Structure 1
Amino acid sequence: MESKSYMVQMNGNGMKIHKKRWNIRASEMSKNTLNPIRAIVDGMKLSPNPDKAMIALSIGDPTVFGNLPTDEKVLQAMKDAMDSHKYNGYAPSVGYQKSREAVANFYCSPEAPLEADDVILTSGCSQAIELAISVLCNPGNNILVPCPGFSLYKTLAVSLGIEIKHYNLLPEKSWEIDLQNLESLIDEKTACLVVNNPSNPCGSVYSKEHLQDILAVASRHCIPILADEIYGDMVFPEHTFYSMAPLTNDVPILSCGGLAKRWLVPGWRMGWILIHDRNQAFGQEIREGLVKLSQRILGACTIVQGALEAILNSTPQEFYQDTIGFLKSNSEICFSALSSIPGLNPVRPSGAMYLMVGIEMENFPEFENDVDFTEHLVTEQSVFCLPATAYPNGECGNPLYPNYFRIVVTVPEDMMVEACSRIREFCQLHYRPCNQESNDLDQ
């Protein structure tokens, strides 16, 4: 707080008075907090074609278009919880015992047993990730995160004074982790390895063998894993989801999940951390740390907690199957359509809600990069896809694959077909094969 001096007269004598002035500054944490997606999108010049209805393929909220409602039994569970009048007060900051037992029972397996004490309920999976990073890392530590990957990892870590190191994913191998690159990044300050499976933004699903290879790296270096498994079991029929915890006997894992995606209720803000620690590597200290950190907001929504047991136990398999069937169908429509467009290289997804598309920028010389490409796609065709530049692409300023964009496949089928048609029209207008110039010169 600053002060300002001025003179006043009292009984004929001048006196110097100091008056304080308001000087309120934002905290360093707030200044260090940045969402890379918002930074890119807010800086884009988005002026849709007024003659074409906007189609947003950029929003990772499955409820936006109303075509993917949650199941009636899920809604009934919430109504019953509200009508009971039992869940209007505070719960323990880690969640009601009964609700934590329900989550433990739902995810328990012989290879990775769980009890209520192994579950922390959180305000969405985002808070679960925040608590996991906060309990494992100190300022000055670093964490390893996928590139491309969910931007929240960087937002949270940098805000907390934690360094981000990006390990590479390999699009030619369905976005598997480059294990050699991953291992080269580990040093004495590495506090955590983040593994996102199934993946946002890539839509990839890792095989059991690949997950075991990742676990072997973590085991060699004694690095705990934060497993972001919010899209767990959201995989297409020909693939299988393997949670990481049952695949290891020694690597401690904090598995983060929630209701948002699989149950199609992201606004209900119900997430959890599953503590897998069969070798007691975390010990009591990490558990106590999670409890203390959960007390900062006094826990997740109690109404949803009251409904949680019924939601987990009563949601019919047909609901999950119908959701996956729709996502699979839309993914195939999109992949098939874009695969036939010269200059685009979509990577076939295996699950989640996303599909990544590579742009052969050398064949679109009018555009500088993926941001420029997607900006003009909005301007001309009113189709908005998120450029991959919005996702953290490494620290060296020379990302491996900047020229991609992400498509969200939750839109209604007719909208997906129309969007792909517009993308085709856009590409046909701007596609210039890079060898065309040399051919013209030869002539």
Structure 2
Amino acid sequence: MGVDLEAVEALVDHKTVAMIAETAKTLGVVVIADEVYGHLAFGDISFVPMGVFGSVAPVITFGSLSKRWLVPGWRLGWLVVNDPDGSLKSPKFIGRLNKYCDICGGPATFIQAAVPTIIEQTHDVFKEIHCLSFPYKPEGSMAAMVMLNLSLLKDISDDIDFCFKLAKEDTVIILPGLAVGLKNWL
């Protein structure tokens, strides 16, 4: 079942500020795209950012590094305006957009400086942990499942034992695979 665009269009009044791209063009309103979880795509279906419709109607996109990398304390995100026709370039709009951006607290500067290195090296570091293997490439989710190779570990009986010892020794909390029916996965 698809969206009934005519029914949606009928709901629009002078208070409407954003809409679906083609309907937004017809009505002369902006598309606001909250894409903080946009990277979560499943199977063969790719995520399509709304910014690609910027030639149809202006698009304001919100994204978040904090959500993508599961680090809410980083408070890093972005706001992108895709407006090839320049319809949002009025000083009033830009002033309001700047005012909105000033509402949010800024991230710590040391995190901003560390982001490029963190992104580049995270996956490589996981590959170096020899007791973990990645038999399936994650195609979407906020978590990845990895297989725990117990034969490479001393004094670890199973995934639950591994998780308890990791939490106690290194203060790292992870979910044992047994919690979702996969023994010796994390």
Scaled by the length of structure 2, the TM-score of the pair is 0.61
Of the two, which has the highest radius of gyration?
A: 1
Give 1:314 shift.
4.9
Residue in structure 2 matching 1:295, options 95, 102, 122: 102
Counterpart of 2:61 in structure 1 is 255
The one-letter code of the counterpart of 1:309 is: P
Residue 271 of structure 1 is matched in structure 2 by 77
Matched residues in 1 for 2:124 and 2:30: separation?
A: 33
Q: Is the 8 A contact 2:40 2:141 kept in 1?
A: no
In structure 2, how many angstroms separate the alpha carbons of the residues matched to 1:183 and 1:298? Answer: 36
Runs of 5+ consecutive residues of structure 2 not aligned to the other structure? 127-135, 146-173
**One-letter code of the match for 1:260?**
S
Indicate if the aligned counterparts of 2:53 and 2:59 stay in contact, CA closer than 8 A: no
Report what 1:404 is aligned to.
none
**Is 2:22 the counterpart of 1:183?**
no
Q: 1:317 to 1:231 in 2, by over 3 A?
A: farther
Q: Distance in 1 between matches of 2:125 and 2:82?
A: 30
8 A Cα contact 2:75 2:106, kept in partner: no
* Residue 216 (structure 1) shift: 0.7
Distance verdict in 2 for CA 1:316–1:288, change over 3 Å: farther
Q: Summarize deviations over 1:384-425 as a string: whole Å, max 9, x none.
A: xxxxxxxxxxxxxxxxxxxxxxxxxx965432349xxxxxxx
For residues 75 and 137 of structure 2, the distance between their equivalents in structure 1, rounded to whole angstroms, comes to: 23
What is the aligned partner in structure 2 of residue 192 from structure 1? 18
163, 171, 178: which one pairs with 1:414? Answer: 178
Conservation of the 8 A alpha-carbon contact between 2:41 and 2:141: no
- Specify which of 29, 54, 70 is matched with residue 223 of structure 1: 29
Residue 181 of structure 1 aligns to a residue whose secondary structure is helix
Asked if the contact 2:33–2:60 (Cα under 8 Å) also holds between the matched residues in 1, the reply is yes
Structure 1, unaligned runs of 5 or more: 1-172, 194-213, 331-409, 419-443
Task: Measure how far apart 1:255 and its partner are.
Answer: 0.4
Q: Does 1:310 align with 2:113?
A: no
Identity of aligned residues (%): 30
Cα separation, partners in 2 of 1:189 and 1:307, compared to 1, 3 Å: same
Q: For residue 295 of structure 1, give the secondary structure of its aligned residue in structure 2.
A: helix
Local SS of the residue matching 1:275: strand
Q: Is the 8 A contact 2:17 2:30 kept in 1?
A: yes
Contact 1:250/1:279 (CA < 8 Å) preserved in 2? Answer: no
Distance 1:308 1:241, change over 3 A: same
Quote the Cα distance in structure 1 between the aligned partners of 2:144 and 2:68: 17
- Tell me how far 1:251 sits from its aligned partner: 1.0
Q: Considering fraction of residues, name the structure with more strand.
A: 1
| Offset, 1:312 | 4.6
- Letter of the aligned partner of 1:301 in structure 2? A
Residues 138 and 144, structure 2, Cα contact 8 Å, conserved in 1: no
Quick one: distance in 1 between partners of 2:57 and 2:3?
18
Q: State the Cα RMSD in Å.
A: 3.4
Matched-pair contact (CA < 8 Å) for 1:250–1:278: no
Corresponding pairs, count? 144
Deviations along 1:6-55, whole A, 9 cap, x unmatched?
xxxxxxxxxxxxxxxxxxxxxxxxxxxxxxxxxxxxxxxxxxxxxxxxxx
Decide whether the 8 Å contact of 2:18 with 2:29 is kept in 1.
yes
Match of 1:33 in 2: none
CA distance in 2, matches of 1:228, 1:412: 32
Question: Structure 2 CA distance, aligned partners of 1:239 and 1:411?
Answer: 27
Residue 367 of structure 1 aligns with which residue?
none
The answer as to whether partners of 2:36 and 2:64 remain within 8 angstroms in 1 is yes
Question: Post-superposition shift, 1:242?
Answer: 0.5
